[in-house]
Structure 1
Amino acid sequence: MTTASNSTAPWPAGGEPFDAQIHRLWTDSLAWTTQHGLQIIAAGIGAAIIVLLLVALKRFGLRLCRNHTNRNEWPFIIGQALGKTRLWFMVAVAAQLVATYADAPVYLGRTIAFFFTVASVLQVAVWARVLILGLIAHRAGGAANASSLGSAMGIIRLLVTIAVFAIAAIVILDNLGVNVTGLIAGLGIGGIAIGLAAQGIFQDLFAALSILFDKPFQRGEGISYDTTSGSVEAIGLKSTRIRSATGEEIVISNANLLNKELRNFTRLKRRRMIHRFGVIYQTAPDVLASIPAKVRAIVEAEPKTEFLRCGMVGLGASSLDFELQYDIRSTDYEEVFATNHRVLIAILTQFNAEGVDFAYPTQTTFTAAPDGRMVMPYPEPAGHDTSPAAT
């Protein structure tokens, strides 16, 4: 890297030694204070007012943080950013105002401008880091604490910090006259090489960020993925761990998890139950016509159910087929399971009490004699006379 022209350097270039430059800076500063005393005082008053305003703004931010304990809401995030206003930034702002208004000498003016540039860029980087991390936490809706990507937020903070302060360093060097073109090009080529080498890792990382922002599911929710159903136990930067209904832990990469259809059972406001049952063909037509009303009364007896429909849907090979549809207004699967159990037991109890028989697969065999006359399909009991005289 090469430096630019001397006009942007903190001190003018020249052949005089460093101690001579310091002596010149001191003498020029003394001469300036004696010749521009009134201007320095006026600028100092203005700078003091600005510093007081910045201090008040910082205290206001700290008060916001105390009054709003939810770290994922905007009042806390903005208050945290304001509370990160540094004293050295305030001093740099005040010094730059005095130097500009009071027409400071070249040596002193460029020295103050140098420190003002560094302080301003670093302060902006601090604010940007807080706001970016706050935006991520706000968009995640509390995932940083426990419900989703809490384990990944540490690495996300590290990546955001590196990116923000790397940009700040480049901006500082560019403002100081350093040619950063080669540095930026080198960083770009290095980033491409790293991205190609760790393509799979970054793919899962961006998938994790998609889960963080889009929130298709959170930790503790029940989901169904491909042939897997279970409860989400942990969401990491590379993989998600699901505890299946049979007890084993299933680890799925985040990229694969988002590439297929995924069902979230926890966010169901209601669950629809669909049951098919059949009764025997010997059931009387008037009894068949009364079945929907009986089933409806059983379903509506439950407090969180909504009856939809029930009726005959087909003539089966060995049964008269009915279908029942109703909703259970609950997001708790245990409650849904128990309600469905009570409804089915009540239907079975009432049908048994009224003599309505459920059908099951049956088959009747008819046997014919050589002349085509139907005969009994089983041999006659020994000693049993079936002749007309016996009857």
Structure 2
Amino acid sequence: MATKDALDPHQIWQMTLNWLSLHWLQIVIALGAGILIYIALAALRQFGKRLRGKPGDSLGLAVVAGRTFARTTHFFMVMVAARLVAGYAHPPAALLKTIIFLFTIAAVFQVAIWLREIILGLIERRTVEDGHGETLANAMSLIRVLVTVALFAIAIVVLLDNLGVNVTGLVAGLGIGGIAIGLAAQGIFSDLFAALSIIFDKPFRRGEMITYDQTTARVERIGLKSTRLRAASGEKKVISNAQLLQKEITSLQTLTQRRVTYAIGIIYQTPEDKADAIPDMLKQIVEAEGLIFVNAGIVQFGASSLDYQLNFDVPDPDHHDYFIMRHRIGIAIWKRFNAEGIEFAYPTQTSFTAAPDGKTIMPYPEHPVAEHG
């Protein structure tokens, strides 16, 4: 049995004819205005296509804005025009309600599309210009999926809520599903977000020399799950992004100079004047190689040596040059000390013989008995 408010097709048709006959002038004006609004939105969309440029162009804010406007759908433009002029034409309540319903759908999903383009564009702009193009290209497909799913899930919830649907259960279900997926793929997402953290926070970049734990290596590639490095000794190192970020990382790339510390031990029998002149000798050796002398001097009295410490800086932070200069300074010190008659110490022990009463005695007779023929 039909409800009291239900209208049969004949009644709907009759109402439509009455509306057209009574408001034909307003309908024509509204239709013209709607066409003009659509043309204006289409021109804005076309302008966005020109702004977005060509593949390979510099990714500025104008390009991001162009990409966003270029993604405006025809359905949205039609519904915007219809919604803006619908009130002027005095349409039947059913038609106006339908226009509002379709406009709500178009607006919600169009905003989701725009936000998607803005977020992805800003991510690319932030990373490609900083030299992470390869890493971003590998991660972009997954980032695009995550951003799209998140935005359109929110759009669906907002749309249903505007249509009067109770979305409490849906939101709770999405939350539980998200938690389950997150726990199942915890390791993958941990490394992925660590990769994104490396891209955005930039603790290091590809090509930089870094040190972590006891390893010094050059970064060769930053992937979605792991970072590949080439150790100074030649080995290839692979470490997960999450594990790498948990370590204390020292970047050697921004160094203007590198500090070298030498420990030098000489024998206690070294003459006092030569022992006193050693810091000046070391300064001359360092400056003769074009390096930066910092300081030198005695640091302790060792068990079998008089211990000095030399500190100097190598202006070129490159690991190879650093190693070579350390070698050259070492050879120069060795040659200079040999020329000056300064002996390097090595572990020695002196034994003393004592009598039962504790007095030191010579291990041999003080006055050897002369041999008789």
1:276 Cα offset (Å): 0.7
Match of 2:322 in 1: 336
Q: Is 2:133 the partner of 1:145?
A: yes
Does the 8 Å contact 2:132/2:199 carry over to 1? no
Counting only pairs closer than 5 Å after superposition, residues 50-199 of structure 1 correspond to structure 2 as 50-51=40-41, 54-55=44-45, 57-59=47-49, 61-62=51-52, 65=53, 69-71=57-59, 73-140=60-127, 142=130, 144-146=132-134, 148=135, 150-199=137-186
Match of 2:300 in 1: 314
The verdict on how the C-alpha distance between 1:265 and 1:161 changes in structure 2, with shifts beyond 3 A counting, is same
1:222 Cα offset (Å): 3.5
Does the 8 Å contact 1:244/1:250 carry over to 2? yes
Match of 1:347 in 2: 333
Match of 1:5 in 2: none
Does the 8 Å contact 1:238/1:253 carry over to 2? yes
Counting only pairs closer than 5 Å after superposition, residues 1-391 of structure 1 correspond to structure 2 as 14=6, 16=8, 23=13, 27=17, 30-31=20-21, 34-37=24-27, 39-40=29-30, 43-44=33-34, 47=37, 50-51=40-41, 54-55=44-45, 57-59=47-49, 61-62=51-52, 65=53, 69-71=57-59, 73-140=60-127, 142=130, 144-146=132-134, 148=135, 150-245=137-232, 248-303=235-290, 305-365=291-351, 372-375=361-364, 387=370
The verdict on how the C-alpha distance between 1:110 and 1:329 changes in structure 2, with shifts beyond 3 A counting, is farther
Q: Which moved more, 1:314-323 or 1:229-238?
A: 229-238
Q: Which moved more, 1:29-38 or 1:307-316?
A: 29-38
Larger RCO, structure (CA 8 Å, separation 6 or more):
1
1:312 Cα offset (Å): 1.7
Letter of the structure 2 residue corresponding to residue 70 of structure 1: S
Report the aligned-residue RMSD: 3.8
Helix, strand or coil at the partner of 2:116 = helix
The verdict on how the C-alpha distance between 1:292 and 1:69 changes in structure 2, with shifts beyond 3 A counting, is farther
Helix, strand or coil at the partner of 2:308 = strand
Helix, strand or coil at the partner of 2:361 = coil
Match of 1:3 in 2: none
1:267 Cα offset (Å): 3.9
The verdict on how the C-alpha distance between 1:144 and 1:368 changes in structure 2, with shifts beyond 3 A counting, is closer
Deviations 1:264-292 (A, max 9, x none): 33343432111111223333222222222
Letter of the structure 1 residue corresponding to residue 241 of structure 2: N
Helix, strand or coil at the partner of 2:310 = strand
Q: Percent identity?
A: 48
1:164 Cα offset (Å): 1.4
1:195 Cα offset (Å): 2.9
The verdict on how the C-alpha distance between 1:122 and 1:331 changes in structure 2, with shifts beyond 3 A counting, is farther
Does the 8 Å contact 2:49/2:67 carry over to 1? no
Does the 8 Å contact 2:279/2:296 carry over to 1? yes
**2:6 and 2:130 mapped to 1: Cα distance?**
58
**1:216 and 1:225 mapped to 2: Cα distance?**
12
Does the 8 Å contact 1:43/1:102 carry over to 2? no
Unaligned runs of 5+ in 2: none
Q: Output the TM-score relative to the length of structure 2.
A: 0.79
Deviations 1:304-324 (A, max 9, x none): x33211112222232221111
Does the 8 Å contact 1:144/1:153 carry over to 2? no
The verdict on how the C-alpha distance between 1:325 and 1:16 changes in structure 2, with shifts beyond 3 A counting, is farther
Letter of the structure 2 residue corresponding to residue 184 of structure 1: V
Unaligned runs of 5+ in 1: 1-12, 377-384
Does the 8 Å contact 1:68/1:75 carry over to 2? no
Helix, strand or coil at the partner of 2:138 = coil
Does the 8 Å contact 1:44/1:98 carry over to 2? yes
Q: Which runs of 4+ in 1 moved over 6 A?
A: 367-371
Deviations 1:209-250 (A, max 9, x none): 333332323344333444554344444444444444555555
Q: Which moved more, 1:243-252 or 1:156-165?
A: 243-252
Does the 8 Å contact 2:295/2:310 carry over to 1? yes
Deviations 1:175-204 (A, max 9, x none): 344443332222122222333344444444
